Structure 1
Amino acid sequence: MSEAEARDEVLDTDAGEFPLLDYRLRRGGREWTVLHVAAILTDEDETRALVRKTNRLPYGVSLWPSAIALGHEVAVRAADFRGRSVLELGAGVGLPGIVAASLGGRAVQTDRDELALHLCRRNAERNGLGAIDHRLADWTEWAETGRYDWILAADVLYSDSLHPHLRRIFETNLAPGGRVLLSDPFRPDGLRFLEGLEAIGWTVTFSKWEVGDEATPRTIGVFELTPPTGPR
C-alpha cells in the first residue's frame, strides 16, 4: 500500500485551500487512485484528527484506514460485485465504492457533507467512473428507498446514537439475498453493535487487514453481515 504525495491539486473551501494527496490502491494487477487531504493511518494521526482538530474540514475528506481495508476487500472479491447494485454509506473520498463500480457494480455513493461528496465525485471521475450516482444523505433523516445487493460502509460505528439508524438502513435497503460489508478498527462501540445484530439472527463473519506502516500497522476488521432469513 503506497502513498504518493501529489501536491499539484488543492481542495478549495471556505476554510482555505488544502493540498490534496494521492492514494493509490493496487490489487490484482489493477490500480485505483483517490485524492484526500490527509491519511489517518496511525493512532497518533487519529488522535490528531479527532481530538486536536485545527480546521473546519469534515472528517470525510481524509482517508481512513477502514476505507483502505474495505477497498482491498472489495478488490479481492471482484466476482461478487459484477452486475450488482451497491450502496455506499458515509462514502467520504469514495475508495470502496469506486473499486466496486470499476469491477462492474452499479454504485450509489452517499455522504451527509457536501464537500466530502464533491471530493468523492471528483475521485470517481478521476478513475473514469462518471456513471456513479452521488447523493447527499443523512442517516438520521434517511429517505432512500432503493434496495441493493451490497451495502458498503467504512468506520461508521463510532457512535452508539447512530446504530439504530444504520440498522434501519440495513433492514430497509438490502435487497433479498443482499449483504453488508462493513469495516471497523475493532472499536468497542462497533463490536457491541455487531453483537447486537448477531443476537437477533444476523450472521457476522470477518477478515482482518493490516493498514499503514509496516512498523506500526493498524488492524482493521471487514465484517460481512447477512440478515436473518424470513420476516424481520
Structure 2
Amino acid sequence: MFDLPGRQVRLLGVKDVEKLITDPTDEDKVPCWAEIWPAARGLSQWIWENINFDGVHLLELGAGLGLPGIVCGIKGAQVTFSDFNSSALDLVRLNANRNGLHNFYTYLGDWRDFKLAKKFPWVIGSDIFYDTKLNIYLKELIPRLASGGGNLLIAHPGRPASFAFVEELGAVAPLDEKRWMVPITIDDPFFPYYEIHIHHIRFNS
C-alpha cells in the first residue's frame, strides 16, 4: 500500500526478492524491478501534488512494479509501462487493474535494443540512471522517444551518475530543466530518510 493525500495506491509485490536472484554476478538477473525504491515514492508524491495528465500519452521506463506510472494514470494519463523483465510487466498489469486503470499498455524492451517506435509527450523514470554502461543507451534513446518539445520527468536519491546523465543529455539535445527536492521516509531501521531529486526536462523542438 502506498499512501497519497486522499488516495491509496494498492500494489502487489514480491514477498521474498532474494529468491528471484539466480546469478548475482549477472546484473541483468538482479531483480531491481521487484521493490519500490525511494525515488519511485518521491516521484509519485511529486506527480500527485503537481501535475494533471488528462488525455496525455506517457511512457514509463523501467516501470518495475509500476507505482509512478499508476499515479500518472490516476491523474489522467494513458500510460505505456515498459520494462526489461516480463515478470515485472505481469505485476504491472495486475497493479494497474487493482487501481482502476484499464486503458494502458505494456512494452517489453531492452534499452540496448529498444524497438518501440512511438513518440511520447511525456517520458518518466525513477532511479534508472545509476549504471553508466546503460546510460550510454538512454542518452540516445530518450530524445528519440520524447516527441518534439516533449518532457522527461525523472527522480533519484542524489546519485552522481544521475546528475552526470542530465548534464550529458543536455549536450545531446537542447533542453530546459527545473529541479525540486522531495523528502521521503520509508520503513527501514538503517536508512529511513531520503531526499529525492526531481528533474523536469523539456526538450526544445
Under a length normalisation based on structure 2, what TM-score does the superposition of the two structures give? Answer: 0.86
With over 3 angstroms needed to count, the CA separation of the structure-2 counterparts of 1:31 and 1:86, relative to structure 1, is same
2:56 matched to which residue of 1?
84
2:73 is aligned with 1:73? no
Q: How does 1:183-222 map to 2 (within 5 A)?
A: 183-200=155-172, 201-213=174-186, 216-222=192-198
2:140 is aligned with 1:168? yes
Aligned residue among 105, 112, 116 for 2:77 = 105
- Structure-1 separation of matches of 2:186 and 2:7: 21
Q: CA deviation at 1:74?
A: 1.4
Amino acid at match of 2:57: S
Amino acid at match of 1:116: A
Q: How does 1:2-13 map to 2 (within 5 A)?
A: none
2:101 is aligned with 1:119? no
Gaps of 5+ in 2: 22-29
1:30 matched to which residue of 2?
7
With over 3 angstroms needed to count, the CA separation of the structure-2 counterparts of 1:107 and 1:213, relative to structure 1, is closer
Amino acid at match of 1:207: W
1:15 matched to which residue of 2?
none
- Moved beyond 3 Å, runs of 4+: 198-201, 213-216
With over 3 angstroms needed to count, the CA separation of the structure-2 counterparts of 1:148 and 1:227, relative to structure 1, is same
Instruction: Give yes or no for contact 2:121–2:151 (8 Å, CA) kept in 1.
Output: yes
2:27 matched to which residue of 1?
none
Instruction: Give yes or no for contact 1:198–1:204 (8 Å, CA) kept in 2.
Output: no
Amino acid at match of 1:223: H
Instruction: Give yes or no for contact 1:185–1:220 (8 Å, CA) kept in 2.
Output: yes
2:135 is aligned with 1:135? no
Instruction: Give yes or no for contact 2:38–2:186 (8 Å, CA) kept in 1.
Output: no
After superposition, the C-alpha distances for 1:141-173 in whole angstroms (9 at most, x for unaligned) are 100111111101011101111112112221111
Q: Secondary structure at the match of 2:129?
A: coil
RMSD, aligned α-carbons: 2.0
Aligned residue among 7, 29, 33 for 1:60 = 33
With over 3 angstroms needed to count, the CA separation of the structure-2 counterparts of 1:35 and 1:212, relative to structure 1, is farther
1:42 matched to which residue of 2?
none
Under a length normalisation based on structure 1, what TM-score does the superposition of the two structures give? Answer: 0.76
Instruction: Give yes or no for contact 2:148–2:204 (8 Å, CA) kept in 1.
Output: no
- Structure-1 separation of matches of 2:63 and 2:169: 23
- Structure-1 separation of matches of 2:186 and 2:125: 23
Q: Secondary structure at the match of 1:146?
A: coil
- Structure-1 separation of matches of 2:119 and 2:60: 12
2:202 is aligned with 1:226? yes
- Structure-2 separation of matches of 1:71 and 1:157: 17
2:24 matched to which residue of 1?
none
Gaps of 5+ in 1: 1-22, 39-48
Q: Secondary structure at the match of 2:33?
A: helix
Paired positions, count: 192
Which of structures 1 and 2 has the bigger CA Rg? 1
